A = this chain, B = another copy of it.
């Protein structure tokens, strides 16, 4: 729980401390009258990127922190949880109640995001180990076939996207606003491992005309010729999962692709990546829920889509894998970041990132909504990232 395998990855211990820090910093310290910090040094150690909260420990060095121990961090968490209960118990009638509830919800949403990151980060750490240890038992034997590929048609026109203010949303999902869309088509399901193998076998990684210039440069520099966690051996492709190394299941959605690979695949397939508004419109119309991280299944790998009700249904619009869109992560017209340090949550990352939609098999159940915008740089692959094809009509 202490090791960090690359700067993007944080140790599990750090995630646990940082989500506690969030409640301490944004709720307990400003609103808990008699709150006493568990340890003043933690403010520095467990700040992620909030410049307004002062200097912080450098991200690439999170894995150097051997003390406090995991047990001390668990004490920290208990301390914060107890103080939160006390704070909320005493505040029900106060004038701060609305503010507190809003921050409490933000803190919980924030923690759900880190629950997903804990899984993706542990997966990356374990993969550095030549022994390829498994995180969890119980990978199911999947026997279902992927649905036949079909295309659903959408009219486009002047539509509205973005969050309308009912229920929780991050600031970057607002305001709701008009967008003009040309008519388009969406694939009824995610691209599968089998389809991606065909791309590889058709020299997909060796044909520059399929790639963005930055993508071509990246795959040369990194030596990529398959998705992250794939390895070819004498008996075919294997993939490292949170349940250990497995022979590849050709019916399951392809996963751990960079934007560059998703984009090249789409070009090879004579299609393109969807825009984020296109996916949002489709999701609002028929939000088929795919496979998310619920504790019941314990299954932490993308799954085959459930059969649809009818041929035109767009499946798996959430869950299984985050879907790369061709939309650069940018502010919506009229966007206003939240005030104070909380405003650093989203707006300051609106540069050189692409929007992903739909949640993944590692996203906690109930965390996602149709307006949800995730974002990563084009080269990132350690999240559960895949794609769905789109076309102009």
Q: Which residues in B have their C-beta under 8 angstroms from that of A68? A: 131
- Give this chain's copy count: 4
**Partner among B44, B126, B334, B350 whose Cβ is within 8 Å of the Cβ of A212:** B350
**Bound Cα distance A284, B48 (Å):** 45
Q: Is the CB of B378 within 8 A of A351?
A: yes
Q: Which residues in B have their C-beta under 8 angstroms from that of A3? A: 2-3, 63-64, 66
A65 within 8 A of B: yes
Among A132-163, those with CB < 8 Å from B are 133, 158
**Bound Cα distance A352, B180 (Å):** 23
The 11 sampled A-B contact pairs (Cβ below 8 Å) are: A3-B64, A45-B130, A51-B208, A64-B125, A66-B126, A158-B180, A178-B180, A209-B344, A214-B352, A215-B351, A328-B328
Among A313-355, those with CB < 8 Å from B are 326-328, 330-331, 333-334, 344, 348-352
Q: Is the CB of A209 within 8 A of B51?
A: yes
The 8 closest A-B pairs by CB, nearest first: A328-B328, A51-B208, A64-B128, A213-B348, A182-B333, A180-B180, A67-B133, A352-B352
A61 within 8 A of B: yes
A177 within 8 A of B: yes
Contact with B along A97-120 (1 / 0, CB 8 A): 000000000000000000000000
**Partner among B67, B182, B211, B213 whose Cβ is within 8 Å of the Cβ of A49:** B213
A41 within 8 A of B: yes
A52 within 8 A of B: yes
Contact with B along A54-92 (1 / 0, CB 8 A): 000100010111111000000000000000000000000
Q: Which residues in B have their C-beta under 8 angstroms from that of A333? A: 181-182, 392
Q: Which residues in B have their C-beta under 8 angstroms from that of A45? A: 130-131
**Bound Cα distance A179, B328 (Å):** 16
Q: A52-B209, A158-B158 are in contact. List 4 more A-B contacts (CB 8 A).
A: A51-B209, A213-B349, A214-B349, A333-B392
**Bound Cα distance A178, B126 (Å):** 49
A129 within 8 A of B: yes
A205 within 8 A of B: no
Name the CB-closest residue of B to A329: B328
A216 within 8 A of B: yes
**Bound Cα distance A328, B133 (Å):** 41
Q: Which residues in B have their C-beta under 8 angstroms from that of A331? A: 326
Q: Is the CB of B64 within 8 A of A212?
A: no
**Partner among B51, B378, B392 whose Cβ is within 8 Å of the Cβ of A352:** B378
- Separation in Å of the A59 CB from the closest CB of chain B? 10
Q: Which residues in B have their C-beta under 8 angstroms from that of A350? A: 212
**Partner among B41, B327, B348 whose Cβ is within 8 Å of the Cβ of A131:** B41
**Bound Cα distance A45, B330 (Å):** 39
Among A192-239, those with CB < 8 Å from B are 208-209, 211-216
Q: Is the CB of B130 within 8 A of A334?
A: no
Among A337-393, those with CB < 8 Å from B are 344, 348-352, 378, 392
**Bound Cα distance A349, B216 (Å):** 11
Q: Is the CB of B129 within 8 A of A66?
A: yes
A249 within 8 A of B: no
A5 within 8 A of B: yes
Q: Which residues in B have their C-beta under 8 angstroms from that of A51? A: 208-209, 216
**Bound Cα distance A57, B131 (Å):** 11
